[in-house]
Amino acid sequence: MRRRRVLIPVLLVVALVAVSCSSGDDDGEAEGPEEQGASTVGLVDEEWFTGRQDEYLAYATEELDPRSIMNVLAHAERADRDPDFTWDSEAVTPGTFAEQLQDVETWVDTGDFDVLYFVNLLLGYRDQLPEDTVAAIEEALLGFEYWYTEPTPEGVVDEKYYWSENHRIIFATDEYLMGQEYPEATFRNDGRTGAEHRDAARERIVEWMDEKAELGFSEWHSNVYYQKDITPLLTLVEFADDEEIATRAAMLLDLFLFDLALHTHRGNMGATQGRTYAKDKTKAVDQDVFNLTKLLFDTTELDYTSPGDNGATLLSRAERYRMPDVVRRVAQSDEPMVDKERMGVPLDPLAPVTDDPEAPYGYAFDDPANVDFWWERGAQPTWQVVPLTLEVVTENDLWDAPTFAPFADARDAVDGDPQAARELVASLAPVLSFGLLTEANTVTYRTGEVMLSTVQDQRPGTYADQVQSWQATLDEEAIVFTTLPKNEPFEGERSWPDDDGYWTGSAAMPQSAQSGQTSINLYAPIAAEEGGFGFDRLDMTHAWFPTERFDEVVRDGSWTFGRKGDGYVALWSWREPEWREHDPAEVFTDGMTEPFDLVAPGGADNVWISHVGEAGTDGTFEEFQETVRGADVEVTPLPAGDDGRPGGFDVRFASPTEGEMTLDQGGAFTVEGEDADLRNDKRYDNPWAQVDFQATTYEIADDEGGLVLDFDAGTRTAS
């Protein structure tokens, strides 16, 4: 049977609860642990949640795939729950897991993902697996390199990426739980004991948790990487013996799910995002978070898509964690709302180079203790951080790693001189900042019919690979967004490739601002057309506007209108757009045969304005079009710079709902004549939460109840 460690204490302290309502006996004494089942007030109903878990498990166990760790785990979990369910566990052999075991043993990227899934299988269900399979998993995991500071065998290139937000917590969770499980064992890669690994990983877990509680998430609103944050946190809740770690993991899990709830519309996590890909963002069912949000929020009628989904599988076996009910209500709310958020850390790679740059929030640029903090944000090649990067990469022999190898020539050019390195990367900052995730100020408008979301003033003009600057979402597939593409679409019959800069990345971020139902986006790249390091751009901007996924699409000069059900979207381009045809025999179109690529040719600089509406407030689709067409738009192109870079634009738009809006290339934004700051004051500003930035207490509530997360006290109170 599955191991259930100190279950009652963890249920009380972690999974759900310090309850604010009275649950004592008449004499004032609190009820004992067995009676505290009622103390889950404020959490989703247990019967409802169990039903959702069982529904996914039934789907996931229709057929056994012994090559999938998560599908095997789903079968083992269902067997734990249902005495009438049997499965062929003997089919799960070291051979069926050969690919994942090899990834763990050979220093390839994402091996930490496989370790996390193996840890869940090993700690939860080892008694259901063949002994040789358990032994093979243990052998691989006890030889894994759990952090880049460990030695790498001579002749081996460590290809693992340790430093992004999700990888940091996954590596630390892997190491912590393996050390907890095997405290006396010697871990082969560095010779330390499991207990030593556990203690070192605990420090990194606490650092990561403190950062997230104070500053929010660097990969904001990501429909890819939120799943990769949720799965290690769930794993810690289920298996960490340390109550502090388990409780704080549950609290951060609440915040990730709250963020998903705010930005999911009809099963589509269709918001601005710090990191996403064409393979995920063009429709809901392709998103890594789709199955877990379907399980938790039940806001789409589309079927589950993966019987081995990592997020949904671990949620379907969750025993110590149950989601606060207010989060479910947020996800299911049809009431019009605006959410404003501020996350992350300001860092300007275009600022003038100085000897002693001021570091935000006390995270000094030259302190080796902060290297993980800055590298998580993609700041390795910024002039403020590059001296520290040179030091740490050299010290840990990382120059052959794929992350740093492309910069070996630049390293040789500066010959170890930190100031020369600063000057060099500063001159290339518009390109080298492609992976930088700086402070994000997001605005999301959502009703029962539409959602519009924008990240404001996010490094305009510079490369920003994987960032989704804005998006309008009407349902699971009817969405609109724009990018400045880096390259032509790749040829071939395959799914959207991860490195497809035609839809995924942005060769220049726009200057963006949103008020309510209107978003304005000004494209004016500041990097050279051939940016170097493989970063180029096309001489156009374009919009994803999949006509066959809408009920109606109308083109009218600079305006393009779309309707899905009772939801409407309007898109305006300063450069008059035209449909670009793609031959499905040459370019992957995801089965679409009608136009979906709305191109504005003639230059990489352009203005795109998006506005959303719905039948209940805007009348018929025809009436919506008439109203929007009548809205005055005035665009003033600014003169190009001496270097030939586009000067950008000043824009005025008489929004039908927001009133007169103005936005200039420098970021001055007004609504109805009043200055509108593009930087949000609060961490959360929405109908359910008003939380100051850097506050460590979060209150999320509606008329039916709520949740208080006090990270200083380490308490999680549902009421």
pLDDT, tens digit, 9 for 90 and up, residues 517-530: 999 999 999 987 66
Statement: residue 690 has pLDDT above 50: yes
pLDDT attached to residue 115 = 98
* Alpha helices (H) in 415-486, listed in sequence order: 418-427, 429-432
Statement: residue 14 has pLDDT above 60: no
Question: Per-residue pLDDT averaged across 456-484, rounded?
Answer: 96
pLDDT attached to residue 416 = 80
pLDDT attached to residue 586 = 87
State the amino acid at position 693 in one-letter form: F
Alpha carbons 359 and 346: distance in angstroms, whole number: 9
Nearest-10 crossing angle of helices 225-239, 165-181: 20
Q: What percent of the chain has pLDDT over 90?
A: 86
Alpha carbons 508 and 527: distance in angstroms, whole number: 8
Alpha carbons 100 and 361: distance in angstroms, whole number: 40
Give the predicted TM-score (pTM) of the model: 0.94
Statement: residue 494 has pLDDT above 70: no
Whether the CB-CB separation of 376 and 163 falls below 8 Å is answered with: yes
Q: How do residues 98-138 score in pLDDT, each as one tens digit?
A: 999 999 999 999 999 999 999 999 999 999 999 999 999 99
Question: Per-residue pLDDT averaged across 418-436, rounded?
Answer: 93
Q: Copy the structure tokens of residue 2.
A: 């599955």
Residues in Cβ contact with 470 at an 8 Å cutoff, skipping those fewer than 6 apart: 272, 452, 453, 454, 455, 481, 482, 510, 512, 514, 519, 521, 610
Neighbours of 24 (CB within 10 A): 10
- Going by their DSSP bridges, the two strands 479-483 and 451-456 should be labelled as unpaired
Statement: residue 8 has pLDDT above 60: no
Q: What is the dihedral sign for C-alpha 620, 625, 626, 630?
A: positive
At residue 499 the predicted structure's pLDDT band, cuts being 50, 70 and 90, is low
Residues in Cβ contact with 40 at an 8 Å cutoff, skipping those fewer than 6 apart: 16, 17, 19, 46, 322, 718
